[in-house]
Structure formats: C-alpha cells, structure tokens
Amino acid sequence: MENQPLLPVIMSGGSGTRLWPASRSECPKQFLPLVNGTSMIQDTVQRLEGIAELRPPMVICNESHRFLVAEQFRAINQDHSGIILEPVGRNTAPAVALAALHASKSGDDPLLLVLAADHIIQDREAFHRAVMQAREAALEGALVTFGIVPTHPETGYGYIRTDHSRQGKDHALAVERFVEKPDGATAQAYLDAGDYYWNSGMFLFRASRYLEELSQHDPAIVNACRQALAKETADLDFIRLDEAAFRACPDDSIDYAVMEKTEAARMVPLDAGWNDVGSWSALWDVGQKDSNGNVISGDVLTSEAHNCYLRSSDRLVGAVGVDNLVVVETADALLVAHKSRVQEVKAIVNQLKAGQRSEAEQQAQVYRPWGHYQSIDDGERFQVKHIRVKPGEKLSLQKHHHRAEHWIVVQGTARVTRGDEVFLISENHSTYIPIGEVHRLENPGKIPLDLIEVQTGSYLGEDDIVRLQDTYGRG
C-alpha cells in the first residue's frame, strides 16, 4: 500500500480575467510566463519532480484550450496521463470525479494529488514534505486538503478552521469547518486565533475514497460523470466526453460537495511561499523589487516611481512620479490601475464582452495548434499578419469566399498547396492565393516557418474559412 502510485490531477479551466490584458479567455494566465521564463502550468508540472511513485499528470481543461495544454507539455518534454476535455465548465467536484473515474478504469486505485494550474509555490522542498505527510493520511482513508499558513489578514481567501486537539498519528489536523472570505476585522481575528489557514484548493486522496464520499453526498455528480465517460472518445492526445451527459451534471466545488460534509476531512499545513496569483497586486507581492519597491518586467524606465508593478510586452513604458500603480502594456491594450483596486479589472473585461470586443477573448498574438499569428496592420480592405508555423505542422486545407492572400516567406521553407499545384517557397520568395482557391500552408522543415500574409478583400474576418480537411479535427 505504501507504494501506491500518486497521480497528479491538474485543473486548468480558469479564465484569469483579473489579470487582463495579459490573460484572456482564449489564453488565460496558466499558459503565460508571468513569474519566470516558463508558464504557470509548466511550473506546476515541474515542481512535482522528485516526488516518489509519481505518474505523469492528468489534465482537466476546457475544449478551447486543448492545443495550448498539449503544446505546453510538449515544450518541456513532459508526458501526461490524458487530457480530459470538458465541453462545459461544471466546477471542481465533477472535474475531479472525471479524473477519479478515468484513473480507476485500469483497475488500480491511485492517490490523486489535485492541483490548480495557476498557483505559485516558491519552496519546492516544503511542498514535497507536505505532499508526503498528506500521502500518509490519505493511505489511511482521509480526504486531505492543504491549508496555507497565513502571513497576514487576507480577505480574498476562504479559510479552514482546524482542531489541533484531534491531530492524528500522521500529523494531519482534523478539519472543524470551512469559512467564507471574511472582512478585515474577522480575518485579523482568524490570524490571531492561530487555528485558521487559507484554503488553497489543493487536495490528496485515494480515487475510490473521493468517489465513495461524493456518491454519498452528491450522487448526481458521480452518475453524470459516469455517463459522460461511458461514451468517451479518443482524439489525438485528448479524451472527449459525451456532451449531453456532462451538461446535465450539477455545478459544484469539492468544498461544497464533499469536504464540508465528510467526516474524513483532514488538513496538512503548507508554508511554502504559496500564492494563487488572483490579481496583478499578487504578482507585485511575489516579484523581485528594485530600490524603490517597483516590480518591473520588460522595457520599462522609471523616475521617482515607487511601489508599482510595471509590465511591458511590446513597447517602451515610462513611469514618472507615480506611486502604487499597476501598469500592464500589451500589443493591443494598456491597463492602468491603482494597486489597491486591481480586483476591479473584471469590470473592464465585462465592458469588453458587452461590446463584443476581441480584446476580451484573444491576445494580439493568437495561438493555434500549428503555431500562432499576429495582426501587424489593418484597414478597410486589407490586413497584414505575421504567421509562424511550427516544424512539421500544417494549416487546414481551406478556402475563403471574400479574401485573397499574398504570402511572403521570411524564414524557413513553406510547402504550398494551391488548387492542383503543390510547391515549395523559400526565404524572400512569395505566392498569391486568389479568392475562392483551395489552399494549404505547411512547414516541412526543421526550423519555424515565418511569413508575412497580406489579405485583401471585402471581408477579412476569421470566420471566412471553409475547412475541407484538418489534421486537428476542427470543423
């Protein structure tokens, strides 16, 4: 039993709207390098290295992010145990039920280490020690959550109250109750009491024990997930569910569905530099500060600026005589907010959505399974894009009803299908795709293919694509 395998389950369904404009619904914060040179989901995977009896992670994500997840794992040469695609979001209790049911199909009963894809944990060794302690309790049948040792009276987190008098031989603490986000005075009282911890949303338990408790307290979730998996289909790296069955599943969190009701809840304290990166001010909290208290990322110059978070992605940013500001620049948007008001960034995102503006959904650089593209310039009847195709990848065989395209290769070699022709284009050469012509772009080489695409026509929207054949199963 001590050698029971540990299966990490990484939940990657968040949209990260409070970190707009860097994080957007089509490429949210877990896929961005916000703290160092790797993305947050890559950090989540890599901090597991060194834990004994560890299986490759299983990921739960929404369908629109499937290629982002696969590419993030490929980029760090990381295997996985499956990427389960949720056709709709149904919160964490069903997500983990899917993982538990799927993991149990092979006949074993792994320990599930449930992690969010977008947390910071700075002390890897302390995290490993907490996991080993939680493993011991989970092997005895406990449902273990990780409680963060609080450092200040935080009002943005829920709390877990423990009973220190009921500490088991595994040193996990009995959970007395879960409490909602408090006001300032209540948070200070929790900190003073010494038996309250921040609720991290991370868990460790046997797959069978979780399903047993969930079946007792909310059987509709288990039934819906069983039905959704009964008709699962494999698609490349992905596990697709029956959409109708999963849509019928109740929407609930692990806390509400199980942890607040079970008698088997235990908590292991975690003091490891944890942060859920819920706002830009959180990145200021964990960032390396200069002599004036500023956290700076990118091309930024300052004069008499203090205690600011200043991030540039595309252009030079200058900050003069300002204090406690968040300034985040991207290729198509600029955010300026007081550091104490960054939770209200969601109000800007809501306005963008109400106006059906693309800045709510997509970055200027748009990711696709074959690579990415970025709009450079546009006008009434033209658009200019930079397109990068990864080695060995290809776009769909397609045509457009309203636009023609001119491709100029600036790096690599392109294989072009244009009607009945198939030919190669090397650097500094170009080709023209007339309106209505069936065409395809491929990268047959070993280095990225970069080209400039000039579109002309009466309508240049991305929905003017008729896909005739697609490697990635897109309609």
Task: Pick the last residue of a domain from 275, 302, 332.
Answer: 275
Any idea what the CATH number is for the domain that residue 439 is in?
A: 2.60.120.10
Q: Which two tokens stand for residue 308?
A: 């600011």
Q: How many domains does the chain have?
A: 3
Examine the domain organization and report whether 182 and 95 are in the same domain: yes
Any idea what the CATH number is for the domain that residue 32 is in?
A: 3.90.550.10
What's the whole-number mean pLDDT along residues 50-74?
A: 94
Residue 1 has pLDDT above 50, yes or no: no
Examine the domain organization and report whether 230 and 326 are in the same domain: no
| Residue 296 identity | I
**Structural domain includes residue 363:** no
Task: Pick the last residue of a domain from 229, 248, 275.
Answer: 275
What's the whole-number mean pLDDT along residues 149-157?
A: 92
Examine the domain organization and report whether 404 and 343 are in the same domain: no
pLDDT of residue 13: 87
The H or E element containing residue 92 is helix 92-103
Residue 152 has pLDDT above 50, yes or no: yes
Examine the domain organization and report whether 146 and 247 are in the same domain: yes
Position 167 confidence tier, pLDDT thresholds 50, 70, 90:
low
**Structural domain includes residue 426:** yes
The H or E element containing residue 432 is strand 430-433
Residue 62 belongs to domain spanning:
6-275
What's the whole-number mean pLDDT along residues 440-447?
A: 97
**What residues contact 60, with CB distance under 8 A and at least 6 apart?**
9, 10, 11, 12, 13, 84, 86, 95, 96, 98, 99
Q: Cα angle vertex 440, ends 436, 446, to 5°?
A: 160
Examine the domain organization and report whether 110 and 230 are in the same domain: yes
- Rounded Cα distance, 454 and 251, in Å: 45
Residue 161 has pLDDT above 70, yes or no: yes
Q: Kindly report, residue by residue over 374-392, the tens digit of the pLDDT.
A: 999 999 999 999 999 999 9
Examine the domain organization and report whether 266 and 291 are in the same domain: no
**Structural domain includes residue 280:** no
Half-sphere exposure of 406 (CA within 13 A, CB side): 9
pLDDT of residue 365: 87
Examine the domain organization and report whether 266 and 290 are in the same domain: no
**Structural domain includes residue 234:** yes
Eight-state DSSP code of residue 227: H
Q: How many residues does the chain have?
A: 475
Examine the domain organization and report whether 104 and 230 are in the same domain: yes
- Rounded Cα distance, 119 and 98, in Å: 22
pLDDT of residue 472: 85
Q: Kindly report, residue by residue over 305-361, the tens digit of the pLDDT.
A: 999 999 999 999 999 999 999 999 999 999 999 999 998 999 999 999 999 998 999
Q: Round the CA-based radius of gyration of the chain to a whole number and report it.
A: 25
Examine the domain organization and report whether 318 and 462 are in the same domain: no
pTM beyond 0.85: the answer is yes
Residue 166 has pLDDT above 80, yes or no: no
Examine the domain organization and report whether 162 and 213 are in the same domain: yes
**Structural domain includes residue 472:** no
Task: Pick the last residue of a domain from 234, 252, 275.
Answer: 275
Pairing mode, if any, of strands 6-12 and 58-62?
parallel
* CA distances, 75 to each of 37, 41, 42, 64, 444 (Å): 12, 12, 9, 19, 19
**Structural domain includes residue 91:** yes
Q: Kindly report, residue by residue over 169-222, the tens digit of the pLDDT.
A: 567 999 999 999 999 999 999 999 999 999 999 999 999 999 999 999 999 999
pLDDT mean across residues, the chain? 94
**Structural domain includes residue 360:** no
Contact 296, 329 (CB under 8 A): no
Q: Kindly report, residue by residue over 74-133, the tens digit of the pLDDT.
A: 999 999 999 999 999 999 999 999 999 999 988 889 999 999 999 999 999 999 999 999
Eight-state DSSP code of residue 18: G
Eight-state DSSP code of residue 256: I
Examine the domain organization and report whether 316 and 236 are in the same domain: no
Examine the domain organization and report whether 345 and 441 are in the same domain: no
**Structural domain includes residue 175:** yes
- Rounded Cα distance, 28 and 16, in Å: 5
